[in-house]
Amino acid sequence: MNSPSDTTSAVRRPTTNVKISAIRNGNLIERPDTVATEEPMEIRIHGPNQDPSPVTVTMRTPGNDYELTVGLLYNEGVITHRDELKTVCYCTNVSKIEQRYNVVTVELASAYLNTAKERSYFSASACGVCGTTSIDDIAAKAPPVKNSFTISSETILALPPQMRPAQKLFSQTGGLHGAGIFDKYGNLEIVREDIGRHNALDKIIGHYFMEGLLPLDEKILVLSGRIGFELVQKAAMAQIPIIVAVSAPSSLAIRTAEELGITLIGFTRDESANIYSFPERIITS
């Protein structure tokens, strides 16, 4: 795959400076503030000698846009292997120059048939599964995770505090979700942030996909917030066996994890955590 460098951090800032009125000690004062940037990104796909076809628009925080694009397309089943990708680049053929870095075009190595989806769909920054309607749909694309490696409870409890300093944009804004991948020994490998929690995970999976490093069957996913159904779905696509989060899972997230062989751990704070599925992967002293 041949792609130019993703330069969004330079041309589309992930944070935006604003002026606010703040209440401090009973007084109203004006002061500068920094908030997370949220902008739409359109994804277009084409094959050789085909015109690019728009397939989706997602709201995201600029940065690692190529990873986000590839991760989303992989998780939706549009692409399955690295050699299916020829190029990923920003689109220069847009009506407004300021939107140049909000459109990503993917060229496939063979013709794009558009048979898997045959529709355009809009994905808001917290929507989730982008058209997936049931656990059966997920199971058809992602087989159950079989890896049964174990890890100590002490290592699990240490993961969120280890990831927190790497969430640089959250430190600036307080308004971004983080996702991180750790190896089975508890070493941090990568962190991605986005205003959409599912986008942060798409960026991670896109990164490993483009590096030819999927599946992630000996990795641990750590999330900065709650665990929704769509995050379990995406973890299953990458064959991640353990998900750790600082907040709660939803009921459907738990049921999906049970169906797909994923250990789900929530409320991982201080010296405690709740294990909702497959606790046999966690070893206590």
Domain CATH for 171: 3.40.140.10
Tell me how many domains the chain contains.
2
Mean pLDDT of the 163-178 span: 85
Q: Tell me what pLDDT residue 285 has.
A: 76
Same domain, 277 and 155: yes
* Band of residue 97 on the pLDDT scale cut at 50, 70, 90: low
Same domain, 189 and 276: yes
Same domain, 113 and 215: no
Catalytic residues: 127
* Band of residue 275 on the pLDDT scale cut at 50, 70, 90: very high
- pLDDT higher than threshold 50 for residue 281: yes
Last-in-domain residue among 132, 160, 176: 132
pTM comes to 0.87
User: 129-140 pLDDT, tens per residue?
Assistant: 444 445 566 666
The one-character DSSP state at 175 is -
Determine the structural domain holding residue 59 and report its residue range. 8-12+38-132
Same domain, 158 and 103: no
Q: Say which residue the tokens 């709650």 belong to.
A: 226
Better-predicted residue by pLDDT, 126 or 51: 51
- pLDDT higher than threshold 60 for residue 116: no
- pLDDT higher than threshold 90 for residue 100: no
Same domain, 207 and 260: yes
- pLDDT higher than threshold 50 for residue 125: no
228 contacts 264 by C-beta, under 8 angstroms: no
Q: For residue 205, give the nearest of 237, 157, 176 by alpha carbon.
A: 237
Same domain, 269 and 165: yes
Same domain, 118 and 159: no
Same domain, 191 and 119: no
Same domain, 162 and 273: yes
* Band of residue 233 on the pLDDT scale cut at 50, 70, 90: very high
Residue 25 belongs to a domain: no
**Exposed / middle / buried, residue 186 (Cβ in 10 Å: 0-12, 13-18, 19+):** middle
Q: For residue 178, give the nearest of 44, 61, 19, 17 by alpha carbon.
A: 61
Same domain, 155 and 279: yes
Q: Tell me what pLDDT residue 90 has.
A: 92
Mean pLDDT of the 65-73 span: 95
- The residue type at 56: T
